[in-house]
């Protein structure tokens, strides 16, 4: 059996994916080839052909992707920040939009020594592990209430610790529990959360409807049933000057900031858009002072 030119294999894969309605057929085709070859996508320009065996395996993966199996389930991996985590059935796949929430959180931590960070509704723990990778001095806790997600999170945390990153403690807990993380009350510098936030009646793509855990996607009729508890919990956990960032549905550009503004503990409430200009996450600061240093003063007193 002879090798196949890579350009022809990619063209065939792209056509199959496009006909199936996959949103980014060329990108997905290239990522699948890169996965099979064990190289970065950017290195594909150096590859002229693939073996017949690889071409056959590519067709199998393309067929699965055309059936709307998530790309990350086929590669077994998803990236956030500078870390890559394992994902698969039973855990929510991190989305590129969450990079912006991560960037906001890391900016808040600038100038703070040994910050304490909590990632609520952690899923695969990608967000918590990205923080630990970027801030080796941080104390990071990752929390979820789903046993299957926790297995993925603990596996990923162990892998990153073996790679030399600061260990992240993964905890079983529910944001509706008024005593969750009671020992950290008033001690946390940053609370991050990518909770379930899709209103129950919202149509979603097949990748979400058929493969993401429903409890990690949907959150009651208005999509805010979990966010409301996160707001209350963040108000308790944060130290003065600390910050919270909560990802939300693109219909929540006013609702989530209103929930934050309704709490007297918060100030500097604002909403942020994603790269497509859609409302994506809301942030707030805890009233008070963050301590000594150039960023010590926050809104209020």
User: Which residues are annotated binding-site positions for substrate?
Assistant: 194-197
Q: Which residues are annotated as a binding site?
A: 144, 194-197
Residue ranges of the annotated binding site for S-adenosyl-L-methionine are: 144, 194
- Looking at the annotation, which residues are catalytic? 92, 194-195
131, 108 contact by CB (below 8 A) = no
């Amino acid at each position: 059996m002879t090798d196949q030119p890579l350009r022809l294999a990619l063209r065939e894969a792209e056509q199959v994916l496009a006909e199936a309605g996959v949103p980014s057929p060329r990108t997905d085709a290239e990522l699948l080839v890169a996965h099979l070859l064990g190289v970065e996508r950017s290195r594909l320009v150096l590859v002229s052909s693939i073996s017949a065996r690889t071409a056959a395996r590519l067709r199998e993966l393309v067929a699965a992707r055309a059936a709307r199996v998530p790309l990350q389930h086929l590669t077994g991996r998803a990236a956030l920040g500078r870390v890559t985590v394992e994902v698969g059935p039973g855990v929510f796949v991190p989305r590129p939009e969450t990079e912006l929430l991560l960037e906001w959180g890391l900016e808040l931590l600038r100038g703070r020594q040994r910050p304490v960070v909590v990632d609520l509704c952690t899923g695969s723990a990608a967000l918590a592990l990205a923080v630990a990778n970027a801030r080796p001095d941080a104390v990071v806790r990752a929390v979820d209430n789903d046993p299957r997600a926790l297995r993925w999170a603990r596996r990923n945390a162990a892998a990153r610790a073996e790679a030399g990153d600061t260990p992240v403690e993964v905890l079983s807990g529910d944001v509706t529990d008024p005593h969750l993380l009671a020992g950290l009350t008033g001690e946390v510098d940053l609370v991050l959360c990518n909770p379930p936030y899709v209103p129950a009646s919202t149509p979603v793509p097949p990748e979400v409807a058929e493969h993401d855990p429903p409890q990690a996607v949907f959150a009651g009729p208005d999509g805010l049933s979990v966010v409301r508890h996160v707001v209350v919990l963040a108000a308790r956990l944060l130290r003065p000057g600390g910050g919270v960032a909560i990802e939300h549905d693109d219909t929540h550009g006013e609702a989530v900031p209103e929930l934050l503004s309704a709490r007297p503990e918060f100030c500097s409430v604002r909403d942020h858009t994603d790269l497509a200009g859609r409302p994506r996450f809301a942030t707030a600061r805890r009233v008070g002072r963050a301590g000594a240093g150039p960023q010590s003063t926050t809104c209020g007193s």
